[in-house]
Structure 1
């Protein structure tokens, strides 16, 4: 049974992010091997990045699954020669259609996250102080080992009037292994009550560095021209890189709460980073490029919001006929867009429209949930109309409408169950047959849950599982994940008590920051040097 779940997860993950994936994978050979695969860049639209991904490639992806000892031996995931190239967005990527496409992807991801939190509360039976998501995260982390080699991420800065620069992040290897050394309990009291309820992992990153070079220098060093450099992979030498952060080895100690129980003062995730020496080397040109990049990123946030009104076909540098009117219209529409957004929620003229809009969405979404509950396909017209309404609505409104529809459906199902007890009792055999049939079907909640945890909502699979979670689904989740909520007898977390999600602690033995000149004979002058620095904070 579990092999089918793993097959379903692999198909969902790999098919979403890898181009032209042929899912003819022999899982019983204990290894999934893919080589020289291209990433689907559109799959990352939900992140709403301020820059454009131009290329992504993985030289080798290997997943080893120990079927004979599954649950005892870890699943080993290996990646080699990972290369990602990003640059500034072109003007056409700030058009209305492109911006709305990214907004919709981001909105679906946020809705998936909200539905995931709702599922967590339902699975925990609304018990205060318990987290199903934390339990699942720890269970996944406990069962895998990860090895990543030769990672190179570059950002090419091509702004008009300036020399083209390249920012790069690279590391030679990253490994996530189980830490067998005894550690103090980070969750709850030290009485031993939660002994064995935490997952200890060690993350080791070797030769992590950040550099900033001019594109001309990088092209000359690598012996390629500007265009072909975009397709250069991660396996080149690092001697000619002008590093801002000298390559450093980082060791992270990760402790995750496996019990799913929230304790006062005990974070769900505890991260401790250990660095020996942190060397920062910066010249005046790199400092200027960093400031230009920060200015561009702040401008991107405004363009994401107002770029749809900008006359991109009529730039200020050319000043064609009527340019004053076009740019005045751009400024006017940008200001009025904020005003209209506020008036949709507060003006009396839109009050009636919002009520009818809510009734329509609740009716459509309730109908969708009814069809899913009856295991019937949802009409395409309903899905398209719901998607169009979600495009025009705020996330808070969508969640409120869905809650109303789910509450109405829950009441309807409860009333139907109480009035038809005799009928249900006489059809026990038929119900068992239906349960056996449904047990052999793919678990829709599994792929939905996995994509929701990644923030990649809004896929075709998300329409197969949503809304009111039945007791049968909850039972299936308990059986598959072995999660059983513990009833709280007055010992739960109250509203006034603080519960931290994450705790971070950095131990840096030495920090050296140096600022100097690139072209003068003046040597670099260190302006900051710290010994034995410690920093910690909670979220």
Structure 2
């Protein structure tokens, strides 16, 4: 089906920028079935590169990603994306050992993304030149807009940690944030969760945070070891 293929392509493009071991075939089959469930997704070392910050991901993992797509009633129900267990260990870029093979792959991926951006820009430019009668929204565009309006996101078990023994080796520092749950819901003007219809122009999104905590440790022990050892700490 065309719509399922579009969704699969978008998810592959988005998740592929951040996830190492994405099973694209499993993702596509799950989308066609209406439910996607992916386990133990490893976050790429360069996942933060687009933010232009001098940090890299030493270890990153999503324990489980679930996506529920109500194909039979996309206008009446929300697409629900759930992430269970999101862990990130961030370190200064200088502390990551240079890997020529990884760097070459990263550069190639960047080239592909840049080519995709250029192609998209050219398509938009061509679209602007079309006669007005040809610019009407297609069914897929309208449906995609409706899905985005009502999508619900829920992330549980978040732990983001930063470690630095480069800036001052004598006083290593670690700081972090844990969050029990983060959810993003579509609501009406009274902030009550609801499904917006196609005619609604104003979109209200409610962001909820539960059990937020932060910490800062000086003279901290750094998490050097295997991925498994780090993830259980």
Question: Please, what TM-score do these two structures have when normalized by structure 1?
Answer: 0.33
User: Residue 86 of structure 2 contacts residue 158 of structure 2 at CA under 8 Å; is this kept in 1?
Assistant: yes
Q: Could you say which residue in structure 1 is the equivalent of 2:224?
A: 227
Taking the aligned partners of 1:143 and 1:97, their CA distance within structure 2 comes to 41
Q: Could you say which residue in structure 2 is the equivalent of 1:10?
A: 11
The alpha carbon displacement at 1:10 in A equals 3.3
Q: Could you say which residue in structure 2 is the equivalent of 1:164?
A: 172
User: Residue 81 of structure 1 contacts residue 233 of structure 1 at CA under 8 Å; is this kept in 2?
Assistant: no
Q: Could you say which residue in structure 2 is the equivalent of 1:199?
A: 203
3-state DSSP class of the match of 1:87? strand
User: Residue 48 of structure 1 contacts residue 103 of structure 1 at CA under 8 Å; is this kept in 2?
Assistant: no
Taking the aligned partners of 1:90 and 1:45, their CA distance within structure 2 comes to 14
Q: Could you say which residue in structure 1 is the equivalent of 2:196?
A: none
Q: Could you say which residue in structure 2 is the equivalent of 1:86?
A: 90
RMSD after superposition:
4.0
User: Residue 81 of structure 1 contacts residue 150 of structure 1 at CA under 8 Å; is this kept in 2?
Assistant: yes
The alpha carbon displacement at 1:42 in A equals 4.3
Per-residue displacement from partner, 1:10-42 (whole Å, max 9, x unpaired)?
344445543333323343442111222222324
Per-residue displacement from partner, 1:251-281 (whole Å, max 9, x unpaired)?
xxxxxxxxxxxxxxxxxxxxxxxxxxxxxxx
User: Residue 59 of structure 1 contacts residue 79 of structure 1 at CA under 8 Å; is this kept in 2?
Assistant: yes
Q: Could you say which residue in structure 1 is the equivalent of 2:37?
A: 33
Taking the aligned partners of 2:58 and 2:148, their CA distance within structure 1 comes to 31
Superposition map of 1:404-483 within 5 A: none
Taking the aligned partners of 1:215 and 1:139, their CA distance within structure 2 comes to 51
Per-residue displacement from partner, 1:295-346 (whole Å, max 9, x unpaired)?
xxxxxxxxxxxxxxxxxxxxxxxxxxxxxxxxxxxxxxxxxxxxxxxxxxxx
The alpha carbon displacement at 1:173 in A equals 1.2
Q: Could you say which residue in structure 1 is the equivalent of 2:151?
A: 144
More helix by proportion, 1 or 2?
Answer: 1
Q: Could you say which residue in structure 1 is the equivalent of 2:134?
A: none
The alpha carbon displacement at 1:166 in A equals 0.5
Superposition map of 1:93-104 within 5 A: none
User: Residue 138 of structure 1 contacts residue 199 of structure 1 at CA under 8 Å; is this kept in 2?
Assistant: no
Give unmatched runs, 5+ long, in structure 2.
132-136, 192-198
Whether 1:173 aligns to 2:181 is yes
User: Residue 46 of structure 1 contacts residue 102 of structure 1 at CA under 8 Å; is this kept in 2?
Assistant: no
Taking the aligned partners of 1:84 and 1:7, their CA distance within structure 2 comes to 26
User: Residue 78 of structure 2 contacts residue 147 of structure 2 at CA under 8 Å; is this kept in 1?
Assistant: no
Taking the aligned partners of 1:76 and 1:161, their CA distance within structure 2 comes to 44
Larger radius of gyration: 1
Taking the aligned partners of 2:162 and 2:34, their CA distance within structure 1 comes to 37
Per-residue displacement from partner, 1:338-386 (whole Å, max 9, x unpaired)?
xxxxxxxxxxxxxxxxxxxxxxxxxxxxxxxxxxxxxxxxxxxxxxxxx
Taking the aligned partners of 1:48 and 1:26, their CA distance within structure 2 comes to 34
Taking the aligned partners of 2:83 and 2:50, their CA distance within structure 1 comes to 23
